[in-house]
Chain A
Amino acid sequence: MNNPSAWKKFFAHLRTWLIGPRWQTALIETVRTLGAIVIAYLIAFVIIALVSDDPQNAIRWFVLGPLSSSAERGEVLKNATPLLFAGIGACLIIRGGHFNMFTEGAFYAGGLIAALAAIYFDLPPALAITVPLLCGMAGSMIVGFLPAKLKTAYGVNEFVSSIMFNFIVLWVGVWLISNVVIDVSSGDNATRPIPDPSRLPILVRDTNVTVGILIAVAVALLAHLYLNRTKWGFAVRMSGDNPHFARHIGIPVAKAGTHSQVIGIGIAGLGGGVEILSNYRRFNWKTLPGYGFDGFMVAIMAKNKPLMVPYAALFIGYLRSGADLMAFNSDVAQEVVQIIQGLILILVASEAFFSSSWLRNRIGALKFRKKPDESGSEVADHV
């Protein structure tokens, strides 16, 4: 084995085995995502250092705070739960090739309808949780059907129409809670208190973690099975990847698009219900919760794979709890999270940042799958 060429051969084999085509992609994607996170964190640290009088303290709370005690770790899970629902919903919508932002309005509608169902339906304890959640889900699906169907049937720009629907849902909801279902004794524009049997039970003692997180993980599994193991999931993926080809092989593209959007919206609506029934005494949202956009961010981070969404949601949940703690214990606002999220989203989604061809050109071992180089051509830049 002293022969240098034998060593070379051995290492070549080892590398081929370690970094085979399948692992290569996974490895590159992981490195890319981690790289994006590191860069976003560094920029955030710079910003924090610029505005804070005691940046060391702020950054310590931001990074280590969420892991410091079991209550804080519970807070991470609590923050991750709605993001998980929004992320899975966004996954299904993006995989079908659409950018329907109604997940945002669905969160609001789902939460409101679930709260109303829990308050006004006189439910037996056995149904006190499931019926409100299903009502919230169904209600948001009915509203969300409109922008989805309008897009697939008549080509109405679903992004803009769904954002308009978000605002409409918000103001109708605000009207409801300040005029129709208002409980004056609360001293606020809010509904009556949600009855105790309808509130989701706490899962871990001394934390705010409810069974909502279990529902979320179950939904992630179901969404994975739906996308990858059913006929309809196949139709959704095909029509998202290449609608012309999908139509050519006989897939009902419009139908698949509609129902992937409606199911995604339903999942977000379920998330709204879970959020309200686990963390709120009354329904009192007067602005949109913002989970719709966060959901898209989570989905992109998870590469639109439902099984990866929990990890991405957990990370964003960790980021959120850290920022909350930092805002509480120092002079930095927690909105730094949105800056980090935006940066990660851009870096993860960009095709040129750390792209496989970029890496392949630099790491010899990866060259065996090298494609013809496109980076030099001028016309390759239209996405």
Chain B
Amino acid sequence: MSDLWNLLSAPEFYAMVLQLATPLVFAALAAVVSNKAGVLNIGIEGTMVLAALAAALFSTWSGSAFVGVVCGVGAGLLMGGFFALCAVRFRTNHILVGIAINLLSAGLAVFIVYAITGNKSDYPGIAMTPWDVPLFKEIPFVGDVLFRQVNPLVFVAVLCVFMIRFLFRRTVLGVRILAVGKNPVAAASVGIHTRRIKTVALLIAGGLAGLGGAYLSLGYMSNFNTGMVAGRGFIGIAAEAIGGGHPVATALFALVFGAVNAFSLAAQTFTSITVPYELLNTLPYLTTAAGLVVYSLIRYRQSTHHSSKRRISHEKSVGD
């Protein structure tokens, strides 16, 4: 028990939660934007892999972490564009495009790393320098968590949450994305270019996933590893589903999953009880699955209370 108390009272733990939640927030926001446009974007996972690789590659080549992040975002945009090309122009089933992109990027990442270095797992990157926010870092507990040695991309993630909220609340583009996602035929009938809007939404999602990937290889670690994304894209999609597509709620759920992830890592150092790390590793996935189930149960019960068309509404499947 003292282990748990020590852990929960240490600011380092909360800083770690933020670190681990950041890629999930980016992935979840990418899922929000593409889901609002009516596309279930499974390719986020693969996009993150390639973006992480691009970030590591170009940061080493240029010697600057910033260039690496920009290239990571560029890779994300490229994959978003590829997704849009397949899903919107070639009219391929979204889930299949996602599966294909995941297959392709997993293969491509290993292939590129092998072609350059001759090994199949790691590529070094240049880590971003963490920021100290002057003045704020002096705040007793909060300062240690939020403003001391924090990766700039953590702030970018917070900013992105509110920017996405702003996008859907206050901008024409956001409303058009919503319209296209809700009912493409109606949207087209009032003159909205549905394909173009979908493409833009997928590009935004790709860029966000790219930020998440770049954070993984340049912020959370300082190298690219082929297994480093480890289902984070999918956890992001789950956070989006549980958050009901609201950017802030989604980000909060991503934070919860980040906390579970941080806990599962920190609990390996507990001395009073030893739980094997393999079982602790299941925790993030277990919570995600449980959260998804609870959310679906609540929504199911609501739909059975309020509507007589319950079978149809709950049958509404992923990605159509």
Contacts and interface: CB of A to CB of B under 8 A. Distances in A.
Interface string B94-112: 1111011111101110110
B296 A352 contact: no
B282 A247 contact: no
A355 B108 CA distance: 28
B107 A342 contact: yes
Contact of A164 (B286, B297, B312): B286
Contacts of B319: 99, 159
A122 interface: no
B296 A155 contact: yes
Contact of A337 (B86, B107, B185, B320): B107
A99 B111 CA distance: 28
A17 interface: no
Nearest to B230: A167
Best-surrounded residue of A164, A179, A336, A337 (most CB of chain B within 10 A): A164
B152 to A, nearest CB: 30
Nearest to A101: B99
Interface residues of A, number: 58
A196 B188 CA distance: 66
Given A156-B292, A164-B289, A335 B107 contact: yes
B184 A339 contact: no
Interface string A313-342: 000000000000000000011011111011
B315 A253 contact: yes
Interface stretch (A81-89, A203-211, A213-221, A375-383): A375-383
Given A160-B234, A167-B230, A382-B184, 18 more contacts: A47-B111, A154-B293, A155-B299, A155-B314, A161-B292, A163-B234, A168-B286, A179-B278, A244-B312, A296-B99, A335-B111, A335-B114, A339-B104, A343-B100, A351-B91, A352-B89, A379-B184, A383-B87
Interface of B: 38, 40, 42, 86-97, 99-104, 106-108, 110-111, 114-115, 120, 184-185, 188-189, 193-195, 198, 227, 230-231, 234-235, 237-238, 241, 276, 278-279, 281-282, 285-286, 288-289, 292-293, 296-297, 299-300, 311-312, 314-320
25 contacts: A99-B319, A154-B300, A160-B238, A164-B231, A164-B286, A164-B292, A167-B282, A171-B282, A178-B278, A179-B276, A293-B102, A297-B99, A297-B103, A332-B115, A335-B110, A338-B107, A339-B108, A341-B107, A342-B101, A346-B97, A349-B92, A378-B195, A379-B184, A382-B38, A383-B93
